[in-house]
Chains A and B, each alone.
Chain A
Amino acid sequence: DVKVTQSSRYLVKRTGEKVFLECVQDMDHENMFWYRQDPGLGLRLIYFSYDVKMKEKGDIPEGYSVSREKKERFSLILESASTNQTSMYLCASSSPSGNNEQFFGPGTRLTVL
């Protein structure tokens, strides 16, 4: 089974802090994604990556950056956390072959005070 893990289930940070959210997948997937989920807004795509060192902006990239130095790891970075970045963050991975099913991690609930 595909396993996508995220570094923390819950995280509390202060405004202005630099925040790293880590995601690791163990199925050698080329594609990786970061979403945020807020009540009433569904999942919104922040950034995605098709390959190592490659990244593409999603629908809401402002205030975020990403890093993909290794195929299995995709990091989301909040350079200076703000209260409006309090949210549930979900990482996913997929292979471009087959039906492109995305496999999601358990999520990280980030609270910025």
Chain B
Amino acid sequence: LAKTTQPISMDSYEGQEVNITCSHNNIATNDYITWYQQFPSQGPRFIIQGYKTKVTNEVASLFIPADRKSSTLSLPRVSLSDTAVYYCLVGDSAAGNKLTFGGGTRVLVKP
């Protein structure tokens, strides 16, 4: 499984856009990029998944450059409730769905 590297923490303010970049230099051809969000005292929950270019849903956008060696999760106009840990994972969804979670990025949204 490809290893991922992401910042340990980020601070932001309400209403700003938050961008978290994840590096995955050894991503394989069949790997997808998936992001999870975890609030304190809860289990992680799926946010978004992509393979290439751009994916957008009601929560976030995921930007993946052509070489796929990195990806950026974009959270538009964050609120205090977006304070959480965000995990970037890379893996082949056809390979039994074994995921490797790194340390994640702790995002703190301030008023």
> Which of B10-18, B22-30, B41-49, B69-77 interfaces with chain A?
B41-49
Interface residues of A in 80-111 (CB under 8 A from B): 90, 92, 94, 96, 99-107
Number of A-B residue pairs with CB-CB distance less than 8 Å in the complex they form:
58
Bin chain B's interface residue count. 20 to 34
Tell which of A42, A92, A102 touches B102, judged by Cβ atoms closer than 8 Å: A42
Q: Confirm or deny: A113 has a beta carbon within 8 angstroms of a beta carbon on chain B.
A: no
Q: Confirm or deny: A50 has a beta carbon within 8 angstroms of a beta carbon on chain B.
A: yes
CA–CA, A101 and B101, complex, Å:
14
Main secondary structure on B side of the interface with A: loop
Interface residues of B in 74-111 (CB under 8 A from A): 87, 93, 96-104
Cross-chain contact B43 with A107 (CB below 8 angstroms):
yes
Cross-chain contact B93 with A90 (CB below 8 angstroms):
no
Residues of B within 8 A of A (CB): 32, 34, 36, 41-46, 49, 87, 93, 96-104
Residues of A within 8 A of B (CB): 4, 31, 35, 40-45, 48, 50, 56, 58-59, 90, 92, 94, 96, 99-107
